[in-house]
């Protein structure tokens, strides 16, 4: 009987998203403290998405070719840790641009490969994925709240130490992570590009692109938006944490939800929630209760959306195409979509203001809703009850 390395996988997710919990909400504030403009900040932060355009696929193709994923994950974590130490020394836009690009290129390798490893270890029990992935959400909450509270007391430069610590954790768990024996898959599965040309796959990836573009302004400017309207850093951290708590709740119950509702229904609900959420943020920032409700919708706009999308990708890309399928999902969704959303929001933030920028985010989500409604029919996402994937 195959033994699942539950805590070693969960520990990696914990520290991976603990890094995100420090970096994503607060690094923009650090860059703002160095007097970078909104456009400069959006360009620098968008390097994480830019490298996801091609990085995950290159790393995924290499992993599929050599049949090993763990050595690549270890290399990626080591390089990310080393590059992060350069933040202590640099101040110019050009130096940050290079450092962010190198960090992002290696960082983009690890998560898609670990996602594939997790499903390979789970084998016939993929419904347990959410119980492992939930530790990533817990890691995010731990650092986003802790960092917010500390930054109310300490100088913003202390953020750099808070970034390094979880990267040390990812390196430690990457060293402890076991390789997975690939499952038995038919040798006659279609080539990756034939799968990618299927209408359902094109529609899903296009909709996922739109959802990630909708989140672009949130990930780059949400903390700045709240700070500019008088919210403390502790309040900012609390609001980020609230969203992830909603995400945790969704992950916890996802296997039950998928036994009742189809993936298409879950995707439609997720995109509808995103349309509403970003309008609420843009128009209701002066009312904390509206922002609280908007953050609770993160459980749908990320939690249920990601769980449903990654399940479909895991099903539609079989065998040795799976690493590349996950890489394409990461590249086209969080890479291309996040890049477009982040860069556009950098321009609109200076020219149109925060409210209209988040209204544009709502429009991106609406485009995704239309794509799922029209181009992903129910029959393409119906799952057998015995194999509900998350």
Structure tokens belonging to residue 327: 């890489």
Q: Is residue 186 part of a domain?
A: no
Q: Is residue 270 part of a domain?
A: yes
pLDDT digits (tens, 9 = 90+) for 61-86: 888 788 888 999 999 999 999 999 99
From residue 198, give the alpha-carbon distance in Å to each of 194, 249, 265, 305, 323: 7, 33, 20, 20, 18
What is the total count of domains within the chain? 1
Is the pTM for the entire model greater than 0.85?
no
The strand ranges marked E within the chain are none
Greatest CA span in the chain, whole angstroms? 60
Structure tokens belonging to residue 66: 């050599």
Q: Is residue 38 part of a domain?
A: yes
Residues spanned by the domain of 224: 7-178+191-387
Q: Is residue 253 part of a domain?
A: yes
Q: Is residue 184 part of a domain?
A: no
pLDDT digits (tens, 9 = 90+) for 1-34: 457 888 899 999 999 999 999 999 999 999 999 9
DSSP code for 385: G
Q: Is residue 241 part of a domain?
A: yes
CB atoms within 10 A of CB 276: 16
Q: Is residue 161 part of a domain?
A: yes
Distance CA 77, CA 68 (A): 16
Q: What is the CATH number of the domain that holds 233?
A: 1.20.1250.20
Distance CA 373, CA 384 (A): 21
pLDDT digits (tens, 9 = 90+) for 225-267: 999 999 999 999 999 999 999 988 998 888 788 888 988 999 9
Q: Is residue 2 part of a domain?
A: no
Distance CA 270, CA 211 (A): 9
Residue 390 has a pLDDT of 32
From residue 203, give the alpha-carbon distance in Å to each of 2, 117, 198, 295, 324: 36, 26, 9, 27, 18
């Amino acid at each position: 009987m195959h033994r699942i390395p539950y805590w070693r996988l969960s520990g990696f997710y914990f520290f991976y998203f603990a890094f995100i919990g420090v970096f994503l909400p607060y690094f923009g504030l650090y860059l703002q403290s160095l007097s970078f403009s909104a456009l400069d900040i959006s360009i620098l932060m968008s390097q994480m998405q830019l490298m996801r355009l091609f990085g995950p696929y290159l790393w995924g193709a290499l992993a599929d070719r050599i049949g090993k994923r763990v050595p690549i994950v270890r290399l990626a974590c080591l390089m990310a840790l080393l590059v992060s130490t350069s933040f202590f020394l640099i101040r110019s836009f050009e130096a940050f641009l290079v450092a962010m690009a190198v960090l992002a290129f290696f960082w983009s390798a690890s998560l898609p490969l670990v996602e594939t490893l997790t499903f390979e270890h789970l084998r016939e029990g993929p419904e347990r994925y959410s119980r492992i992935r939930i530790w990533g959400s817990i890691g995010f909450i731990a650092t986003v709240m802790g960092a917010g509270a500390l930054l109310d007391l300490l100088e913003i430069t202390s953020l750099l130490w808070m970034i390094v610590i979880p990267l040390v954790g990812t390196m430690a768990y990457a060293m402890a992570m076991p390789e997975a024996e690939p499952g038995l898959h038919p040798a006659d599965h279609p080539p990756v590009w034939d799968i990618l040309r299927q209408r359902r796959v094109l529609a899903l990836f296009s909709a996922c692109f739109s959802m990630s573009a909708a989140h672009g302004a949130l990930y780059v400017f949400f903390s700045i938006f709240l700070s500019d309207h008088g919210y403390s850093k502790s309040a900012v951290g609390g609001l980020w944490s609230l969203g992830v708590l909603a995400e945790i709740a969704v992950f916890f119950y996802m296997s039950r939800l998928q036994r009742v509702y189809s993936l298409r229904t879950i995707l439609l609900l997720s995109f509808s929630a995103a349309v509403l959420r970003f309008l609420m943020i843009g128009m209701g920032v002066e009312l904390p209760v509206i922002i609280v409700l908007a953050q609770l919708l993160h459980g749908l706009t990320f939690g249920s959306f990601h769980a449903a999308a990654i399940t479909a990708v895991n099903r539609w890309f079989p065998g040795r195409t799976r690493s590349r399928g996950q890489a394409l999902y990461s590249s086209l969704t969080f890479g291309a979509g996040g890049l477009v959303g982040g860069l556009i929001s950098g321009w609109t933030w200076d020219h149109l203001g925060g409210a209209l920028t988040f209204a544009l985010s709502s429009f991106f989500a609406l485009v995704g809703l239309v794509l799922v409604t029209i181009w992903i029919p129910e029959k393409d996402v119906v799952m057998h009850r015995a194999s509900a994937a998350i």
